[in-house]
Structures are given as C-alpha cells and as structure tokens.
Amino acid sequence: MSRQFPDTFSLPLPDDFHLHLRQDEALLRYVPDAAASFGRVIVMPNTTPPIRDEHSLSRYREQIMTAAGDAPWFVPLMTFKIAESHTADAVRRLAESGATAGKLYPQGATTNAEDGVSDIRAAWPVFAAMEAQDLVLCIHGEDPSSFVLDREDAFLPIVDQIASDFPRLRIVLEHITTARAVDLVLRLPDNVAATITVHHLLLTLDAIIGGFLNPHVFCKPVMKRPEDREALARAACSDSPKFFFGSDSAPHPIGAKESSCGCAGVYTAPVAMPLLIDFFERHGTMESLRAFCCERGRRFYRVPPSDYEVTYTREAWTVPATYGDVVPLNAGRAVSWTASRPTIISGG
C-alpha cells in the first residue's frame, strides 16, 4: 500500500456539511462523537416534529450546544425543513434567528420525509424567499416515484430548473451518488455545489446486497454502481470547489436497522476522518484531502477558516462493534489513523 502521507500531520479542524444529530437521549449520546471530529456542522432538521420555525430552531441549537459539552470549536449551523406553507415572513424570521440553510425533502424520500414537499413547484416561492435572505438550499435529490436506482437521476432536471430560476440562490445537492449528478453539478454555475459522504466514496450497492444483506450500510440515496463511485472519487479528488464533505452520519438503533422495515442511514461520525484520510492517501493528495474536508465547504457556506487544528497519526485502532446501540461503519474492523483533540491554531 502506498504511503504518500507522513505518519503525523495536521489539518485545520474539518467541517461536516450534512449531519443528523437526533433528539433527547440519542442527541446527548451522539453529539459528542461528532464534536470529537468536526468543527462546523450543518444540522439536518428531520426531527419529530421537524425544525420548521425560529422557535424550534433556537431550542434545537440550545440542546445541541448543551450536549456538545466542553467542545468550544463545535458550531452547529442550523437548518429548517422546507414546507410549501412557509411564507416569506416565516423564512425571514428563520434567517434572523440564525438559520444557515433550508432543507428540501421530496415527500417520502427518506427517514421522516412523510411530511416532505409533495409538489416541488409549490415551493418555488419559498426558494425565492430563501434567495432574498441569502439562505442556502440543501436538496435531498430523489424522485421517490422512480425506480430506486434511478431516483437521483430522475430528480436532476428539477435541480437544473431551480438553479436556472434562482441564479443567486446557493444550492447544495446533498449526498450525491451518481456520475450524472457529478456531471450536472459541474455543468451548473458556481452557485450549485454537492456534498459527498464517505460511504458513497468507498462502497457500492454490493456492500448492501452483493453478499449477505448488510442493513447497517443501507442508506438513501442507496449506493450505486462502481462507475458511479469512481465518478464521485474523481470529483472529490478534483480541483473543483463544488464538491465537499457532508457525512450524512445518521445513528439508528440496531433494532431499527436489523428489522423487516429497516431504516436508511449509516453511522459514520467516529470513523469518517480516518477513512477519508485513507481514501485520499490512495486516490488523491494531501491537498485534495484538505480541500474536501476543510476548505471548499466552508467557502461555499461563507464560514471563516477554522481557529482549530487536529493532528492525525498513523496508528491503527479497531472500530467498536457499537456506539451506544448503534453499529458504525467498519464496526469491528481496523482503521489506520487516530486524531488528537482539536487545539487552537497558534497565532490564530
């Protein structure tokens, strides 16, 4: 195996531009895992009930900050779940209470999306209000009425249309999984970007159903073909500022995964950085690792450079079988890198 990276190196503290932090006891259990690895995080709003207004948004932020404890580098960037019924005034109040983005879930597309948007066209006025408030539009880009492997590609014309109708709206196509999504994001103007997860960079549909069924890596959008994974890898390792890290880390209890009605989502927060370092050492460069995890996303979101850095050391450890009652990606397997606690960049 090639070892192009030094055995010890430092990076600015990485950010995670797509994260699920749950509620109540799960929130208390899983926020510290995320805060151990990441600085600024885009917090998804698909709680029950969802984050829809400035009150629930502020309350959720408070709960997250309490759960994070002694992690002064950890900054939740809040989102709200878009409804057709959001007025321009409601969007303005969300922006004033510190929302960074709104998330568009097509109805039925994924976990807790039964109350998503059924008629995307009816949300056009919400997008206009978000553009006026300079909020970012995060899109779960799947058409739930299509065949499962075609859902993302079937949704791409809608992304194209939103981007052309709202040229000043910053749009993030979340957790992209296909070569065609990569192509569209590259073709659209600079206001359109995409997040890529670590599991979609590493795995294909084979990981879920190629051998024995593995519900712990089942997610939406589902992983696709090898050529799609390769397109994602090329995008992540490219010079394009449009592709950056969003883990979509989503803890589901074992019982909700090993079930006749298993939930979609992969828990990656504790292993994402070791796996990404390993991936970029094999397929990219130190510069592309840094750009993907620490630079491009924060620039797109207009977040300042981190005041913190982390030192990574080539030192193998075995991923625990569970975190709480959640099975993480690579459970029971070795990963090659450990991370220090984040420290303030001297002179920063």
Nearer Cβ to Zn ion (248/295): 248
Write down the least CB distance from residue 186 to Zn ion, Å: 22
Annotated catalytic residue 150: no
Nearer Cβ to Zn ion (44/99): 44
Q: Report the DSSP beta bridge partners of residue 312.
A: 9, 339
Whether residue 15 contacts residue 306, with contact meaning beta carbons closer than 8 Å, is answered with yes
Q: Which of 54, 143, 153, 248 binds Zn ion (CB under 5 A)?
A: 248
Rg for the chain (alpha carbons), in Å? 19
Q: Report the DSSP beta bridge partners of residue 266.
A: 249
Nearer Cβ to Zn ion (143/248): 248
Q: Show contacts with Zn ion in window 94-153 (CB under 5 A).
A: none
Region binding Zn ion by CB under 5 A among candidate stretches 131-139, 162-170, 241-249, 298-306: 241-249
Residue 237: its H or E element? helix 226-237
Quickly list H helices, 15-96: 24-35, 54-68, 88-96
User: Locate tokens 């589902």: which residue?
Assistant: 222
Pairing of strands 40-43, 75-81: parallel
Write down the least CB distance from residue 18 to Zn ion, Å: 6
Site for Zn ion (CB under 5 A): how many residues?
1
Nearer Cβ to Zn ion (123/250): 250
Catalytic residue among 143, 228, 248, 278: 248
Region binding Zn ion by CB under 5 A among candidate stretches 76-84, 127-135, 203-211, 240-248: 240-248
Q: Report the DSSP beta bridge partners of residue 78.
A: 43, 99
Write down the least CB distance from residue 339 to Zn ion, Å: 23
Write down the least CB distance from residue 244 to Zn ion, Å: 15
Tokens of 247: 């883990």
Draw the binding track, 189-228, toward Zn ion (x: CB under 5 A; -: no contact): ----------------------------------------
User: Locate tokens 């039964």: which residue?
Assistant: 114
Instruction: Convert 16-45 to b/e letters by CB count within 10 Å (16 or more is b).
Output: bbbbbbbeeebbbbbbbbbbbbbbbbbbbb
Write down the least CB distance from residue 162 to Zn ion, Å: 19
Write down the least CB distance from residue 198 to Zn ion, Å: 13
Q: Does 278 bind Zn ion (CB under 5 A)?
A: no
Nearer Cβ to Zn ion (104/291): 104
Residue 101: its H or E element? strand 99-104
Q: What are phi and psi of 16, to 5 degrees?
A: -125, 115
Q: How many Å apart are CA 301 and CA 266, to the nearest integer?
A: 24
Region binding Zn ion by CB under 5 A among candidate stretches 95-103, 243-251, 276-284, 338-346: 243-251
The residue of the chain with the least Cβ separation from Zn ion equals 248
Tokens of 64: 């997250």
Nearer Cβ to Zn ion (16/248): 248
Residue type for 201, please? L
Region binding Zn ion by CB under 5 A among candidate stretches 5-13, 99-107, 188-196, 247-255: 247-255
Residues marked as catalytic: 248
Interacting residues with Zn ion (CB under 5 A):
248
